[in-house]
């Protein structure tokens, strides 16, 4: 798809409150609102406002997500059914249109050269058809670009085992994985195979040979690609979400046969991620699976995004490294002891989320109010702030009022 620089101007206003400073459109766009802009024009506008997502729905004005908050593009008109159908025709192939009509939901990706790549989800709802676009930079970021902990370079350079990146939707898991793949691509000589639904960041083979496979384009079924991946002579396998037993079984098999496996989960902390995997199995199977996980796991990195004082967002992490002591606790199911090790064994690169938040507070990169919003244990963070001489009273009141 080709970028255009003409269309409808957009004014972004927050609901219910206004932005602290006006946002300027990236390009000078025609203010005549008699014609609806194309998806491509909306994407160009959203990209200029540094939006992460675009929400389009029948009967609603398009909305942008900026720094985690939803804003209404008020100078746009409501999307009619006719316009929505035109949008579907713009971004979907005839086969995808047919699939969406049959299944009422569809995942795909679109690419605007020189601008951005978008992960797209189309779905039907009680309120009408909807399209959500996640904007993905064409430039694969590095670990340093994202100011991720340096231990990530050490973790991903391990030759064998499982690395889990976890967090809620929109927490930057795909971006962190992409940065790890880039690090390998710049430092190792390996074959990396990814199975993605859809492909998000596009990697060019440098020192590594990278084979990216998209479900629906390069394989008919996710599980078909999983079954064949071990026959493709990979050194590193990125399999995305650990969505079911088949995926976890494949990851464990790959790790135990000398491969590095990277996957994701929708869990908010490192320890609960292991329990999530175990819960995919029957109770009588969990003891055996616990052993396999303890033997195969390299690290669990739980990630959240927090608004920064300079109007950006930064990732904060729970980091669990599977040291021999951690492995022993995992085998025994002693989660409390694992957590205490994460708090104290910082020399290994481990940390708990509250410590990461506290460090950014000390550096004045985030506010106490934002830290308390995402903290897994706000009361413990308040105590840590007070011990460190940070006035937590006003922020604590804000947090309690919002809660």
- How confident is the model over 229-238, as pLDDT tens digits? 999 999 999 9
Query: What's the confidence (pLDDT) of residue 389?
Result: 86
* pLDDT at residue 2 greater than cutoff 90: no
Residue (of 112, 264, 109, 43) closest to 174 by Cα position: 264
Mean pLDDT of the chain: 88
Query: What's the confidence (pLDDT) of residue 197?
Result: 85
Query: What's the confidence (pLDDT) of residue 392?
Result: 72
In CATH, the number for domain 12-136 is 3.30.450.90
Q: To 10 degrees, what angle do helices 245-256 and 286-296 make?
A: 50
Residue (of 1, 61, 67) closest to 36 by Cα position: 61
pLDDT digits (tens, 9 = 90+) for 35-82: 789 999 999 999 999 999 999 999 999 999 998 889 998 888 999 999
CATH superfamily assigned to domain 151-366: P-loop containing nucleotide triphosphate hydrolases (3.40.50.300)
Dihedral in degrees, nearest 10, Cα atoms 31, 36, 41, 46: 80
Answer with the residue of higher pLDDT: 37 or 397: 37
Query: What's the confidence (pLDDT) of residue 342?
Result: 95
- Phi (first) and psi of residue 207, to 5 degrees: -70, -35
* Domain assignments of the chain as residue spans, ordered by start: 12-136, 151-366
- Per-residue pLDDT band for 21 (boundaries 50, 70, 90) equals very low
Query: What's the confidence (pLDDT) of residue 402?
Result: 63
Answer with the residue of higher pLDDT: 397 or 217: 217
- Phi (first) and psi of residue 132, to 5 degrees: -120, 125
* pLDDT at residue 14 greater than cutoff 70: no
Q: How far apart are CA 402 and CA 324, in angstroms?
A: 42
* Least confident window among 65-79, 113-127, 183-197: 65-79
Work out the percent of the chain whose per-residue pLDDT is above 90: 76
Rounded to an integer, the average pLDDT of 146-162 is 96
Rounded to an integer, the average pLDDT of 286-306 is 97
Rounded to an integer, the average pLDDT of 271-295 is 96
Q: How far apart are CA 240 and CA 300, in angstroms?
A: 14
Rounded to an integer, the average pLDDT of 150-154 is 97
CA distances from 20 to 14, 17, 24, 211 (A): 10, 9, 13, 44
Using left for φ > 0, alpha for ψ between -120 and 50, and beta otherwise, residue 180 falls in alpha
* pLDDT at residue 34 greater than cutoff 90: no
- pTM (two decimals): 0.82
* pLDDT at residue 309 greater than cutoff 90: yes
- Other Cβ atoms less than 10 A from the Cβ of 113: the count is 10
| Burial of 257: CB neighbours in 10 Å, binned 0-12, 13-18, 19+ | exposed
CA distances from 144 to 147, 149, 189, 262 (A): 5, 8, 21, 19
Answer with the residue of higher pLDDT: 171 or 9: 171
* pLDDT at residue 345 greater than cutoff 90: no
């Amino acid at each position: 798809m080709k970028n255009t620089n003409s269309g409808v101007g957009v004014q972004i206003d927050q609901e219910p409150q206004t932005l602290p400073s006006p946002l300027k459109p990236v390009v000078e766009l025609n203010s005549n609102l008699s014609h609806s802009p194309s998806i491509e024009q909306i994407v160009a506008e959203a990209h200029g406002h540094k939006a992460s997502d675009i929400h389009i729905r029948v009967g609603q004005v398009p909305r942008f997500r900026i720094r985690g908050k939803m804003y209404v593009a008020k100078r746009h008109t409501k999307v009619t059914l006719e316009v929505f159908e035109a949008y579907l025709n713009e971004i979907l192939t005839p086969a995808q249109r047919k699939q969406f009509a049959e299944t009422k939901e569809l995942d795909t990706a679109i690419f605007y050269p020189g601008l951005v790549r978008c992960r797209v989800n189309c779905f039907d709802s009680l309120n009408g058809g909807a399209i959500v676009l996640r904007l993905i930079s064409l430039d694969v970021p590095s670990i340093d670009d994202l100011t991720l902990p340096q231990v990530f370079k050490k973790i991903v350079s391990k030759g064998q085992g499982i690395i889990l990146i976890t967090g809620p939707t929109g927490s930057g898991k795909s971006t962190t994985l992409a940065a790890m793949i880039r690090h390998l691509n710049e430092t190792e000589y390996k074959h990396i195979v990814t199975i993605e639904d859809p492909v998000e960041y596009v990697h060019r083979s440098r020192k590594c040979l990278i084979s990216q496979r998209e479900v629906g384009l390069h394989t008919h079924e996710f599980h078909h690609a999983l079954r064949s991946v071990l026959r493709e002579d990979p050194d590193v396998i990125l399999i995305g979400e650990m969505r079911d037993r088949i995926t976890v079984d494949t990851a464990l098999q790959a790790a135990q046969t000398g491969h590095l496996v990277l996957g994701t989960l929708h869990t908010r902390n490192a320890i609960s991620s292991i329990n999530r995997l175990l819960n995919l199995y029957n109770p009588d199977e969990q003891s055996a699976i616990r052993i396999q996980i303890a033997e195969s796991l390299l690290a669990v990195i739980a990630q959240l995004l927090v608004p920064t004082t300079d109007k950006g967002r930064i990732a904060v992490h729970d980091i669990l490294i599977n040291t021999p002591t951690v492995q022993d606790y995992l085998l025994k199911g002693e989660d409390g002891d694992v957590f205490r090790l994460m708090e104290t064994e910082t020399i290994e690169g481990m940390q708990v989320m509250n410590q990461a938040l506290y460090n950014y507070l000390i550096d004045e990169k985030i506010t106490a109010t934002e830290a308390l919003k995402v903290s897994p244990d706000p009361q413990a963070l308040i105590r840590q702030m007070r011990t460190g001489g940070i006035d937590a009273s006003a922020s604590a009141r804000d947090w309690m009022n919002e809660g």
